Amino acid sequence: MRLSAFPLVVVAVAACSSSRSSAQDALQSRLTLPAGYSIAMGGPIEEATKANDALGKIFPAMIAAMLIVIILQVRSFSTMAMVTLTAPLGLVGVVPMLLAFNQPFGFNAILGLIGLAGILMRNTLILTEQIKENRAAGLDEYHALVEATVQRARPVILTALAAVLAFIPLTHSVFWGSMAYTLIGGTAVGTVLILLFLPALYAAWFRIKSPIERVPTISSESSGISGILE
């Protein structure tokens, strides 16, 4: 067999979770090739590498387009920053899931991670928009934040649960398995973290305090005023 006019010897091996560089280094360390011979990876590993290279070229444009869409929707740089900060929360569930089921972090897992970031940022947008609606309805900042979390907790959790159940059949696929495990772990854990992390981040970002924390300040000011009047 020849490839580009050069003699070619094809050796098929079973797919494993090792990366291309580690597999190639392991082969080169065990084989002593004569002059004019070299080892090149082909098959799914080669195709995955080409796909990763193509994805890396357009990734900055994807990030820029995503930020533009978010800023056009929320019309606030602070909210856009909070939405972006919640995207990596899915890694807390992705990494243990891939390690537990011995799945490779290849091209399909990267695709799943990109889709997962979109799912988590969508949940964040839902919560932030609900906070704005509550503020417009007349609630103060603290109660608007608390009520928005309570109001949207059940829909967000049920939507995430439906997505997790839908991805389970894909775990049996050799090709889409790593992407399914990425979405399952990231969606389940990331959704719970958003419901806990986003309210705390929002309160800290905009310096929102509960009415109980504001009472001593008001009482001390009132006592000072009464002392002056006396």
Count the alpha carbons within 13 Å of 85 in the hemisphere toward its beta carbon. 14
Over residues 154-209, the pLDDT tens digits come to 999 999 999 999 999 999 988 889 999 999 999 999 999 999 999 999 999 988 88
Residue 28 lies in a domain: no
Does residue 17 lie in a domain region?
Answer: no
Structural domain span for residue 91: 44-219
Q: Are 37 and 11 in contact (CB under 8 A)?
A: no
The CATH number assigned to the domain holding 201 equals 1.20.1640.10
> For the segment 23-44, what is each residue's pLDDT rounded down to a tens digit?
666 666 666 767 767 666 666 6
Q: Which two tokens stand for residue 199?
A: 């309210």
φ/ψ of 6, rounded to 5, equals: -110, 145
Tell me how many domains the chain contains.
Answer: 1
Please give the Cα distance from 160 to 98 (Å, whole number): 19
Cα separations in angstroms, 16 against 44, 50, 82, 162, 187:
11, 18, 38, 31, 26
